[in-house]
Amino acid sequence: MPLATVNGISLNYQVKGDRAKGTDVKGGGPLVVLIMGTGSPGRVWELHQVPALLAAGYRVCTFDNRGIAPTYEAADGMTIHELVADTAALIEFLDEGPALVAGTSMGARVAQELALARPELVRKAVFLAGHGRLDQFQKVLSLGEHEMDTNEVQLPAKYDAALTAVMNLSPATMADTNKARDWLDLFEFTGGPVPPGIRAQRRMDHDFDRLHAYRGITVPCLAVGFADDRMIPPYLAREVADAVPGGRYQEVPDAGHYGYLERPDAVNKILLEFFAS
């Protein structure tokens, strides 16, 4: 991935796709910008969403949010407004806007705020596990994460993997012995100490309520809830759709917080149909 200086920071990004396809943007295929959630690099989109979007003729930009090396880690802290400004500056840097935008979890919140603050940069937006507020469970969970980070608590690898699976996967996935084993092995292998930049992402303000503000969003938006999501329950995603004028809502069954990885075909179908509509 190349590095660009945008919004005063170094940001790691990648654009794929053939500009010779389509006619929507500067003689090339329309640009889709994908925004990842807390703690994950942009390359996670490469597993399922990028290939599907490329096959449909889109150009696709993935990037590492502030906090994820080699993008500026911002270990001293960051705000959602800085993440939004980073994304806006990247779209301006690429000079292919307005873009189709999709984000998941924290990335969905960035997409929501981007659609509100910079509508000229957003053609349509999809919010996977989006939310305009957090309920009491999410707030307490976040405070618990902060305490673990502050006290440098490291859970045993297998227990950490099991907890990650319970919080992010559907019971339908965990009921499949082979899938459960593969996911648990993956979580155990990729676990370990939390880097400073990810700690900074997790320290961002969680006491917010933006639903009233989202009444000012004017671009076409689709909120997607995952039926078995424990991290961001689907009713929080539905609230965003209800708040946005003309907002639409769809729910993916048998999917947890990582629904875009658990049910990629369903999620890709939703993205492609909404972007093409």
Active site residues: 105, 229, 257
Computed on alpha carbons and rounded to an integer, the radius of gyration of the chain in Å comes to 18
**What's the per-residue H, E or C state across the chain?**
CCEEEECCEEEEEEEECCCCCCCCECCECCEEEEECCCCCCHHHHHHCHHHHHHHCCCEEEEECCCCCCCCCCCCCCCCHHHHHHHHHHHHHHHCCCCEEEEEECHHHHHHHHHHHHCHHHEEEEEEECCCCECCHHHHHHHHHHHHHHHCCCCCCHHHHHHHHHHHHCCHHHHCCHHHHHHHHHHHHHHCCCCCHHHHHHHCCCCCCECCCHHHHCCCCEEEEEECCCCCCCHHHHHHHHHHCCCCEEEEECCCCCCHHHHCHHHHHHHHHHHHHC
